[in-house]
Chains A and B, each alone.
Chain A
Amino acid sequence: MSVTFKNAVVIGASSGIGEAIARQLATEGADVAIVGRRADELQRVVQTNPARLRPYVHDVRHYDETPALFERIVADLGGLDTLVYAAGVLPKIVESEYTFGKDRAMIEVNVIGAMAWMNLAAARFEAARAGTIMGISSVAGVRGRRGNPAYGTSKAALTTYLEALRNRCARYGVNVVTIKPGFVDTAMIRGAQGLFWVVSADAAARASLNLGRKGTSASGFVPARWALVALIVRSIPSFIFRRLNF
C-alpha cells in the first residue's frame, strides 16, 4: 500500500534533511507547513515553491506554543496526514569537554521537541485511523560512543520513542517511520573528520520519503548500507568498544 502525502508539516525545515524533505514533498504536490527557528532561512525555502510551502517560525523548545501552532497549521492546511520531525542539533564537543548546556539543548531539541509534536500528531492520526509520522533519528543512536554522549543518547531515545509509537499506533493504521541516516552533507557535520559514505541531503530525503511511502511503519538506515555498520558496531564487546576512537 503506497502512501500519498497531501498535507504535511515538516519541523526543522529551514536547512538540511528537513528542508530537502519539505521541498520534495512540495514538488510531489503536497501542501507543506515548514517550521523552523530562522525566518529568513524559512523564507529562502518558501521561495523554491511559494505555492506549496508555508513558513512558521517556531523554536521547538517553546513547548507551550506547540499545541496552538499545531492547530493553526492543521487549520491552515485544511487537514494533516503527515508529520516529519527533522529538527536536531549537534553542537561540537571536543575531547574532555563536559558541557551541560549543550547536552541539554540536544535532549530538548532532538527528543522533547519530537515528543511535543508527535504526541499531537499521534492522537490525531490514531483517531483518524490514518497518517504518517516520520522521525529523523540517526545511526548515532546505535551505541554510546565517546565522541558525543548526549547526541547518541538523544538519538537512541528518539529511536526508542518512535519504536514505541509504532507499536502503539500501527494497529490503528498509523504509519510511524524511523529514519536513521548515516553521514549526510549538511551544516551539522561540515568540517568533521573521518567521514565516509557521505550522501547529499536530497538523496537522504528521497530515501526517507521512499521508506515512508511504503506505508509499512518502516524503520531503516539511509542509505541502507549503514545497516551493516550498525550491525558491526552493535556487536563489538564493550571492553573492546571503550578502547576504540570513533
Chain B
Amino acid sequence: MKVKEILTEKEGGKLFLLGNEAAVRGALEGGVSLVSTYPGTPSSEIGNVFYKIAQDAGVYFEFSSNEKVALEVSAAAAASGLRSFVFMKHVGLNVAADSFMSTVYTGVKGGMIVLSADDPSMYSSQNEQDNRIMARLAGIPLLEPSNPQEVKDLMKFGFELSEKYEIPVLMRTTTRISHMRGVVELGPVLKGKEKGFFQKNPGQYVVMPAFAVKMREKLIEKLGMIKEDANNSSLNKIIDKGGKSLGIVTSGGAYNYVMDVVSENDLKVKILKLAFSHPFPEQAVLDFINSVDNILVVEEVEPVMENEVLAIIGKYDLRKKVYGKLDGTLPRIYEFNPDIVSSGMAKVVDKELIKREKFSTKLSLPLRPPVLCPGCPHRATSFALKKAIKKLKLKEEDIIYSSDIGCYALAIQEPYKMADYCISMGSSLGIGCGFAKATDQKVISFIGDSTFFHAGMAGLVNAVHNRDSLLLVVLDNRITGMTGGQTNPGTPLDGMGNPAPEVSIEGIAQGAGAKFVKTVDPFNLKETEKVFKEALQCEEVAVVITKHPCAMLTDAQNKKNGINIKYAVNQEKCIKCLICVKNFSCPAIYIEKDGLVSINPLLCDGCGLCVQVCPKKAIEVKK
C-alpha cells in the first residue's frame, strides 16, 4: 500500500491499515478541515500520514509547537464552525490539559475530536496514565475503539456527536490499537469546509468566572443528554455466547483478548463491549448486570469501568460479585495479552481453560536497548562534552546532568551516563534551575530543538532571570527525531512540507538575555570540545547549541544522492586501544571473537566521526 491510498482509495475498497492510518481516513471521511498535533508515540504516524497527504486532501495540517498550542488551534477552528482533529500521546494531554478542560466548558460549533493515545506497559513513555480518567475529570464524551476499523468509524461518529451537543469528543486508543494493523473497509471521503466564520459570543468563549459558572451548568446538562445517547448507542453492544453465569464488561484492546479467549475455549458467557463509554451508560450496564449472575470487568490500566459497575451495584442495591482489578483477578499494571486475560478468566469460569507448554531458555541473551543510531550527532555532542569535562578535571559526582525527553536521553547508557534526572518535556531547565539553587554542583541541562520550542523556553527565561549558573546544551538536529522525524519550528518546512520560516534558537537565547550563546557543529569534535570548555567555566547561564542534522535525515539524503560510504578498521594500524568501542560507542563498531575491532557495514552509515575519534588514524574508508 502507498500512503496516498489512504486518501485516494474509493468507498467500498479495503486497505490493510494501522490504527493510526485508520484515524486519518476516519477524519477524512468525517469531513475534517483542520488537523493539529505535537508528535508523540504511539500517535505519531497519524501526523506522518497527514504530512504527506493533507495538501492533496485540501486539509490544513500543522505540527504545532506543543500539545497545548495544538489543542488551541483545533479549538479555534471548531469554534469557527470547522471540523477539527487534534491528537497526541497520553502525556501530551497533560500539557494541553489547561485548555482542554476549558474547551469542554466553552464547547464548539464544528465537530472537534481530541485523540489521546495511551501507552499501557510504557513502551515509549514515562508513565501509564489512563486518560479515560481524564475524560471524567473534564466531563467530555469518550470513545474507545478496539481495532483499526472502529478507529475509522468512530472518527466519523465522533464528529457527529460533537456537533450534536456542541462539545469536543475524546477518543482513547492504546499502543496496541494505534499500532495494530487490520483490514478496514472504507466509506466515502467527505470534503470539509474550506473556511469558517467565528460568530462572536463572549458568554460562550470567555471563561471569566461569571460566564464559567453558566458553562458548568450547561456542561452538566449536556452530559445528562449524552448519557442517554450512550445508553441507546449501538456502539455499546452485547455479544451473547449463551449462558448467564458470567457477564464480561470490556472495552478497547481488552475486548480483543476477551473474544479470543472466549472463542478458543468456547465459553458460554455474555459480553458487553463499550465503545461509547463516557458518560457511562448506566441504564445499559444496569440491564446487563441484571441479566447475568456475576460480572467480570476486563479493561486496560485502571479499574475505571469496574468502579462504575460497583457504583451501579451499590446505587441499585444489587447482590452481584464483581471480579476485576480491585480483587486481584486481573493485574492493575501493564498491557494485557491473551495469556493474562486467560489466566484471569480461569479464576472465574468453571471450566479448565486451554494451557499450552511454554518454552523458555536458560541461555543469557544479549541486551538490545534502544540506542543512538550510527551517525547520530548526539553521540558527537556527548563525546565532545565528556572530553571537555575530563580536560577540566571536573568530577562526575560534582555534575548533575538534567536531561529531557528526546533521543539524547539515551546518553544515560554506558559509556556516557549523562542523564541523572528527567521527568517531562522541557523539565531539563526547570529542574536545572532548582539544582543550581539547591546545590553547589555544576548543572548541565540537555534539551533537543523540538523540546526546546515545546516547553524549554520558559525554563530558559527563568534561568536567566534568576541568575542560575547552568550550562544549557541544545542538541539541535533540525527535526523531531525520536518520534520518527517530524518538522518543528526550527525546520524550514511546515507540517505539509511547504517552506516555512526557521525560528532561531540562538535568537531566542539571546533575546532571553543569555550572554554566553554559541552554536557549533558537533561533527567538528575538536571545536565542540573547545566551546564546551569555555561554557563550563561560565558562572552564569551558558547556552551551547550543537547543530547538525539527525542521522535519519543525512542517511535519506545520502541514499537519494547515491552516496554509499562505509568505514573499516585497518588492522595493521589498529592498536586495540578501544576508544572507538568503549568511549565513543557507535553500534556499528564491535569487537570480534578474536579480539579484532571491526565495523559492521550493514550498520555503518558513513558519518566518519570514528575517524576523528581514532588516535592512530586506523579507521579508513572501506574500498
Bound pair (A, B): no
Residues of chain A touching chain B, judged by Cβ–Cβ distance below 8 Å, are: none
Residues of chain B touching chain A, judged by Cβ–Cβ distance below 8 Å, are: none
